[in-house]
Each structure stands twice: as structure tokens, then as C-alpha cells.
Amino acid sequence: MIIMAQKYSFLLSVISLAVLSACTEQPANLQASSPTTEVVSATTSVALAPVAKKVPYEMEIHGDKRIDNYYWMRDDKREDPEILAHLAAENDYTNAQLTHTEKLQAELFEELKARIEKNDDSVPVKKGLYFYSTEMRGDNEYPIYVRSTDVSGANKEILLDVNTLAKDHAYYQVSGLDVSPNGQLMAFGEDKVSRRVYSVKFQDLASKAMLPDVLEGTEGDVVWANDNKTVYYIKKDLQTLLGYQVYRHTLGTPQSDDQLVYEETDNTYYTGIGKSKDGSVIFINHGSTESSGVSVIDANNPKAMPQRLVPREKGLEYDASKLGQYYYITTNLDAVNFRLMKVHQDELGDKTKWQEVIPHRANVKFEGVQLFNHHMVYQEREKGQTSIKVRDLTTQKEHTLSFNDPAFSVYMYGNGELDSSALRVYYTSMTTPGTHYDIDLASGKKVQLKQQAVLGDFNADNYASERIFIKARDGVEVPVSLVYRKDKFKKDGSNSLYQYGYGSYGSTMDPSFSSSRLSLLDRGFVYAIAHIRGSQMLGRPWYDDGKKLTKQNTFNDFIDVTKALTTQGYGNKDNVFAAGGSAGGLLMGAVINQAPELYKGVAAHVPFVDVVTTMLDESIPLTTNEYDEWGNPNDKTYYDYMLSYSPYDQVKAQAYPNLLVTTGLHDSQVQYFEPAKWVAKLRDYKTNDNKLLFKVDMEAGHGGASGRFKGLKDRALEYAFFLDLAGQNKQ
């Protein structure tokens, strides 16, 4: 499972892996009482796979009994010696099985690292009186946060060097670096475990002295009130890891004195906080899968309490931005694909007063708006492609921003100033490295600020990208984004194929550039993103047709895309590889149960595979928030349907592809014991000798290793696993 963030992420991290010595897998169905790796011959040094003991655990609901032989692997404290020994044995076995790829992994790691600019600065973003940016230097794993009074970097001031803070920690993550309105104080959250539970600290930026205030057990972000001494933050339930309480803290007072200003009593909702662009109000965002809402707090009154924009309703989704005396509201009210409305601040609480600004269209999804003093910029999606339009608020004239690639991604970011005359965007395609532009709102003229540097012999002209549509078994056409190296691609079914998918939470994986991916393309791989149902690539109905009681469409789409790509000559049917993480790991688990013969190798990262058991347990982090995504199995209709595809429950005696499974011991989204149990059950049932490898990062969580270079080792291991299976490990 995964929390749907408000921000975009441009790099998928997987779990940290390492390599040691070689050997063969243990035959299926062989049981052992000890979870440790066995060596059966000193002369051949053959290591056997760890076989987990079976302890039957009975679960019954709706008159149906299930026996989970590996339920014992769950340890919420992550301290049980037997479990830790089993996970260590899995790591040792994986290392042993992959020792012959060690040289290839090292080669790939150096390739990936060599393409990255070591001294790399972000594009400054203006907020108040300062321009904020980050700097990466040399072999540093973490950024240095800086600010200056001029976009050129004059009078640069270091705010936070994360490398210094992280030096004594195996894992370290900073979240929510927020500066007070007067620019004199800074708050930031730190996570040293990778459970996404942050301690918020404060610093005086003039003296560099740390303040005594520390806020424990938080989401990591704070929002400053305008008095420069009051902050709002979200506190988490440390069992479910659900952020559900909004507190107000006054600097110089103990956390125990903080005032609770909002508590979410519906455990199917997430809670978020933010601030309007004009700084006048603080937003509390309430969001579940199918319903959402907004409350506002006067940012100028440190004693103000939140006020709902309109009463919350099941099925009503909306969020709000503010310009002058009006709130602009993106909503699904009588609009499946959303529309834009506005309402005067004096008429809050009555949605009958909402006035339409951008109407609903059945084939176009309205995705969001950025407001400026003189312009409104809004984003839409039609036939899977994003467009951005600019409207002059005085003349009401519009123009559409133009881009060159046939399929691309474009994101608005860093537009925090109402009086700006330019729009900041990030643009990328599968052949175009990430590029930052300022676009004049009046003329549409683009000024390129920076393009991601790709070191080495990279030439974009060597690569080609396609957007095609593939007909699924029910006649629906599924978009697919493809990229390959022109001189390596024959379209005769000879190329190895790497197919990626996600397909949940309405999360759309738009085509984007990856310098790491070049290591596959340059070795003749075709890379495909299957934009399957469960995303919003073709609008909100595309999402609705791939969740709850239509979830099987997600798996069918992925399988049907694989079949069509090989039939059409894009990939070799004997060399198809697939990968996905989190809910994409559920996708991997489902497709290898349903169509294992299609795939030579599969990588399932932090996979959500024990769907029914997890969704029946409200003590597990994030479960209750996801009933509208998967269904509530306390209802027999949903129970039966979820059981029909749950990867863990549907493991059967059959031949499975070569499989690499990764997780993090401290994962806060998908608990480590889900993939651990899944691997144990697969090892018991699988009928062939294909590899089944499980790697556990004992120091990381859902996002994998912290640091920009550590994550490259994770990617190198996955690529080496696939290349070796494709016969391209020439060691």
C-alpha cells in the first residue's frame, strides 16, 4: 500500500541489496525447522534456500477458513531473533545465488553513477524575500539546502547540510524544511529509521543555534502562522502510522502544552496541511480514496479554529486554492472528470454558491490549477496526454503551451508567488532529460533554466519513443509508452523487453526520462510502461475501472500488453521481464499467478501481496484508508473478490518465473512480513528450478536506501539480475 503524495517523484528507489557467493535453489516442498542457509557439500559449496518452518494459523470469516503457515513471521517490534535470523539467511542465499553477477553489478553501478553530474544545483525557487535551492557536491549522498537574496546566488547562505546530519546514521531523511514568514527561523523533520515518523526541530537562522523545541511523532511538515512563533503540525498514531491530529505549537513551550485544533475521527481519511499562496489561510486537507474536503484556519490569528469550506459528503471530492476574496475549487461535483468552480469567501459552507469556471468534459480530465494575480493556469489530460493552458484573467483570452515530443510529462512546480509573470514547469519525455523552464504567462515564450545533465556519450538522437494503444481482451485500448535505442531495435521479436506497471490509486506513471534506463536500452532492451486501468491515464473512469470489484482489469491489461508487444515484434517472447513496486508489486504477484509462462524474470519491490489478511487487520498501517481502493473484506462480496486475486492466497503448485523480491525491514507502507511470507509460500509450492531470491534491507523502509548513490546499487542489482537471465552477463 502507498500514501498518495501531493508531490511528484522522479526517481523510483528500490531496496538496498548486496552480493556474496554462488549456488542452487532447494527443491520445492522440502521443510526444515531452522531458517538458516544450509551447506550440503564442502567440495561443491552448494547452498540451499532457507525453508521457513510451518506453524498453522487459522483465520475464519464469512464461513471461510484460511490457514496461514507463515503468520508467525510478523513481528511489529522487529526484534524476534528467529525472524531476524531467517531474513539474514535469505540475504545470504541471495548473495550466494548472485555472486556470478558481482562483476556485472559493479560495472552497471559505475555506468549509472558516471552519468550523474556530481556537482549539481537545483533551480532556485522564490519564496518571500529569498531564492531557495539545493546543492549536491562530489560524492555526497545528501543535499545541502541554501538560499540567497538574488536568483544569481548572491549572498548565499547554507541552511542545512544533510550530509553532516546523516554521517552517523545508516538511514537518514529530512522532510518539510520550512522557513518562517519573516525568514528568520527554520523547521525541519528528521527520520532516522525509515518509518516516516519524524521529529521536527527548529533553528535560528541568524545565530545557527538550535531551539530547544522538538516535536515528536509527526508527519514531518509544519505550517507557520504569520506571527512567526506559531506552527501547525500533524501527529501520527504510532501503531497505524496514520496522521490524524493537527496540533498548534507555540515556540518556547513544551509539546505537552500544544493545542489540538483538529482530530480526524474517520480512520478512512488522511490528513494534510498547507498554506494559501497569499499566506492568509492555513489549509487542512481531508482525503480518502473517493471523498475529500478542506478546512481553513486564519493564519493571522494564532487562536483561530478550523472552518470547513463545505460539509463533507461521501463521494464528493474537492480541493481549494485562494485568490483575493475567492476560493477556486477543483471538484468532481456533477463531473466525473472534474471541473473548476469558484466561490466568494463570504459564502463558504454553501456549495450551491459555487460558480463554474472550467466546465466538465466527458473525455477530458481537469487536473489542477495555479493562480496568479493576472493569470490562471490549468492542467488537463486528453487521450492520456497532458496539456497546460493559460488564461488572462482580465481579457479571458487563452493560449495552450506547446511542447515537441509526441508523449511527455510536464509538471507545474515552485509557483509560490502571486505576482509572478512566469510559470515554472518541469518537462521530460522518455528521450528528453528533465528540463526546467520559466514560461512567460502573457506570451508563452519559454526560457530554459536547466536540463538534467547526462554525462558520457549520451545523444538523445540515438533513441526513439512511441505511444501505442493495445486492445485488451474486453476490447478496451490500453496506452503503452515505449523507448528503445534505434540502432539496437529490429521490431522482429528479437529484443529483450522490460515492462513496468503500477495501476493503482489513480496514480498515473507518465513517460519520463531515466539516465539509469540507458544501461538497458544500450544493451538492446525495449522499455515499456503499460498505462493500465487503475491509473488515470485516460481520466477518472480509467481509475474506477481498475479498483475494488473491477481490479482484475488491471492484471488483464498488463498481461494483454505483454502478449501484444511480443506478437507485434517489440519484444522476444522468451526474454520478457517485468517489474513493479508496492501496489505494482501486487500487480507482479497477480500476473505471475495468472500468466507465469509469459515472463522470464520478475522484480517485485516492497510488494503488497497479502491483500486479504492485511485489509482485515485495522492495526496494520494504512489499512482503513484503503477500503475505497481495494474494498472492505468485512463485506463478503469484497472478501471473495479480493481472495480471487490476492497474490499470497493464490500461490499454487506451478512453474514460476525467476523472481527477485525486495523489502525493507522498517517499511511503513507494506510491512516486511508480507513479502517474507509470500517468498516462503512460493518456495514451498513452485515446481521448477527458477531462481527465487529475497533481499531485505535491514536498515531501510518503503523508499529503499537513503542517499543518491546508494539507490543506484539497488538498480544495478535488478538490472544485473535481468541481464544475466537474458544471457548478457559476459563475465
- Locate 56 and state its grid cell: 498453522
Q: Please tell me what DSSP assigns to residue 237.
A: P
For residue 170, which amino acid is it? Answer: A
Number of continuous H segments (helices) and E segments (strands) in the chain: 12, 40
Report the 10 Å Cβ neighbour count for 120: 15
> Which of 194, 229, 227, 348 is closest to 664 using CA atoms?
194
- Locate 153 and state its grid cell: 546566488
- DSSP bridge pairs for 59: 66
- Locate 659 and state its grid cell: 523472481
- Residue reference for cell 523552464: 437
State the sign of the Cα–Cα–Cα–Cα dihedral 700, 518, 105, 688: positive
Q: Please tell me what DSSP assigns to residue 252.
A: T
The single residue of 702, 706, 714, 724 carrying the catalytic annotation is 702
Q: CA-CA distance, 444 to 456, in Å (whole number)? A: 33
Report the 10 Å Cβ neighbour count for 654: 13
- DSSP bridge pairs for 327: 322, 343
Report the 10 Å Cβ neighbour count for 9: 8
Q: Which residues of 685-703 are buried (b: 16+ CB within 10 A; e: fewer)?
A: ebeeebbbbbbbbebbbbb
Q: CA-CA distance, 475 to 78, in Å (whole number)? A: 47
- Report whether 166 contacts 111 (CB < 8 A): no
Q: CA-CA distance, 239 to 626, in Å (whole number)? A: 16
**CA 363 to chain CA centroid, nearest Å:** 27
**Is residue 667 among the annotated active site residues?**
yes
- Report whether 245 contacts 264 (CB < 8 A): yes
Q: CA-CA distance, 516 to 512, in Å (whole number)? A: 12
Using alpha carbons, list the distances in angstroms from residue 31 to 23, 48, 51, 208. 19, 11, 6, 59
Ordered strands of the 326-331 beta sheet: 318-323, 326-331, 339-344, 355-358
Contacts of 694 (CB under 8 A, 6+ apart): 90, 91, 93, 94, 661, 662, 663, 675, 676, 679
The single residue of 582, 646, 668, 706 carrying the catalytic annotation is 582
Which residue pairs from 129-138 have beta carbons closer than 8 angstroms and sit at least 24 positions apart in sequence? 129/183, 130/179, 130/183, 132/159, 132/179, 136/708
CA distance between the termini of the chain: 38
SS3 133: strand
**Is residue 360 among the annotated active site residues?**
no
**Is residue 194 among the annotated active site residues?**
no
The single residue of 191, 319, 557, 667 carrying the catalytic annotation is 667
| Catalytically annotated residues | 582, 667, 702
